């Protein structure tokens, strides 16, 4: 599943190809994604793309006259830039033809993705964003914020940091890895964590995500590949999917538990409650 670093890498990958380009035509080959692709998407034909930003795992295409296209990659979505002569693949559902002579194509085998359109002066006021917590890489996500957000929460800390209302974009892999770096067991009740331990956790989340985004930077040329999936990558992981293997720090076998129906990996020695 594309996580926040993949979405950010996608943003950086398509940005130089779509910024300042005019959308010549929108070709919708299949409308039944997680939400139906609105007919109004055609209204962006003839408009120029001003910028591409990201909120949580949504990409926001900002166009002239406050037109906005929101894209979520869902479970299996990807975007790439191709020459229009390249044949459509089976799950290429939407194509945006650009004044540069290239096409931006949305590909999504499982169709859990979203491509929607709105006219909004401030795209961040869109209902899809109404219940989202802060961005993990922004300064407002700090230990003091987290202490306040978790002050009366008994829920295990791993589930809390994966909750988009508390902080966005910390998926299962990054939650497990961050908790190892911070030395915190995933089951620890959120409200029990002291400010210094939360500071270590905040630092770990930022570090793990930044490292992954930096690694994604090396795959940016893949956005121009005519075949294949761009932007999926995995850094060397300390605990995730390493059950029974020695901890890379202390050599204790990594343990696996199920928490909130998700596989959860930790080192019983390096991580304390
Ligand atoms: Zn260990």
CB 80 within 8 A of CB 108: no
Query: Residue 138 and residue 194: Cα distance in Å, rounded?
Result: 21
For residue 24, give both structure tokens.
């010549």
Count the helices and strands in the chain (H runs, E runs): 5, 10
User: 180 by DSSP, 3-state: which?
Assistant: helix
Tell me what pLDDT residue 164 has: 96
From the options 1.10.8.50, 3.40.630.30, 3.40.50.720, 1.10.10.10, give the CATH code of 143-266.
1.10.8.50
Chain-wide mean pLDDT for the chain? 93
| pLDDT-derived band at 193, boundaries 50, 70, 90 | very high
* 4-129 matches 143-266 in fold: no
> Could you read off the pLDDT of 89-137 as tens digits, one per residue?
999 999 999 999 999 999 999 999 999 999 999 999 999 999 999 999 9
Residue 46: phi and psi, rounded to 5, are 90, -5
Domain ranges of the chain: 4-129, 143-266
Query: Residue 118 and residue 61: Cα distance in Å, rounded?
Result: 10
* Span from the CA of 262 to the centroid of ligand 1 (angstroms): 21
For residue 1, give both structure tokens.
């599943």
| Active-site annotation, residues | 2-3, 57, 262
Tell me what pLDDT residue 212 has: 86
* Span from the CA of 255 to the centroid of ligand 1 (angstroms): 10
Specify the length of the chain in residues.
273
Q: What is the mean pLDDT of residues 196-200?
A: 98
CA proximity to 190, closest of 169, 171, 163: 163
Query: Residue 113 and residue 118: Cα distance in Å, rounded?
Result: 17
Q: What is the mean pLDDT of residues 139-146?
A: 98
CA proximity to 52, closest of 79, 27, 24, 84: 79
* Span from the CA of 243 to the centroid of ligand 1 (angstroms): 12
Least confident of 172-176, 220-224, 231-235, 250-254: 231-235
> Could you read off the pLDDT of 11-21 as tens digits, one per residue?
988 999 999 99
CATH of domain 4-129: 3.20.190.10
Query: Residue 34 and residue 30: Cα distance in Å, rounded?
Result: 11
231: left (phi over 0), alpha (psi -120 to 50) or beta: left
Which helix (DSSP H) or strand (DSSP E) does residue 9 occupy? helix 4-18
* Span from the CA of 180 to the centroid of ligand 1 (angstroms): 8
Distance of CA 8 to the CA centre of its chain: 7
Q: Compare 135 and 216 and report the one with higher pLDDT.
A: 135
By CB neighbour count within 10 A (0-12 exposed, 13-18 middle, 19+ buried), where does 248 fall? middle
> Could you read off the pLDDT of 49-76 as tens digits, one per residue?
999 999 999 999 999 999 999 999 998 8
| pLDDT-derived band at 3, boundaries 50, 70, 90 | confident
């Amino acid at each position: 599943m594309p996580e926040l670093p993949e979405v950010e890498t996608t943003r950086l990958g398509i940005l130089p190809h779509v910024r300042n380009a005019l959308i010549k035509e929108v070709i919708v080959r299949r409308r039944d994604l997680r939400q139906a692709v609105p007919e109004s998407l055609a209204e962006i034909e003839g408009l120029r793309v001003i910028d591409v930003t990201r909120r949580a795992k949504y990409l926001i295409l900002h166009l002239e006259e406050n037109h906005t296209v929101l894209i979520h990659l869902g479970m299996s979505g990807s975007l790439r830039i191709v020459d229009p002569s390249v044949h459509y693949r089976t799950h290429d559902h939407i194509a945006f033809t650009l004044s540069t002579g290239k096409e931006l194509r949305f590909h999504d085998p499982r169709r859990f993705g979203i491509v929607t359109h709105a006219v909004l002066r401030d795209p961040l006021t869109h209902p899809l964003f109404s219940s989202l917590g802060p961005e993990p890489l922004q300064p407002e996500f700090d230990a003091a914020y987290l202490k306040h957000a978790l002050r009366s929460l008994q829920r295990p800390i791993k589930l809390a940091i994966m909750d988009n209302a508390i902080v966005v974009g910390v998926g299962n892999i990054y939650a497990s890895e961050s908790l190892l770096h911070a030395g915190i067991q995933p089951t620890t009740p959120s409200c029990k964590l002291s400010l210094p331990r939360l500071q270590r956790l905040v630092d770990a989340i930022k570090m793990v995500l930044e490292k992954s985004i930096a690694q994604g930077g090396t795959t940016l040329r893949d956005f121009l590949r005519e075949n294949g999936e761009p932007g999926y990558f995995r850094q060397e992981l300390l605990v995730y999917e390493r059950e029974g293997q020695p901890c890379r720090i202390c050599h204790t076998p990594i343990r696996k538990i199920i928490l909130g129906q998700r596989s959860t990996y930790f080192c019983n020695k390096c991580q304390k409650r």
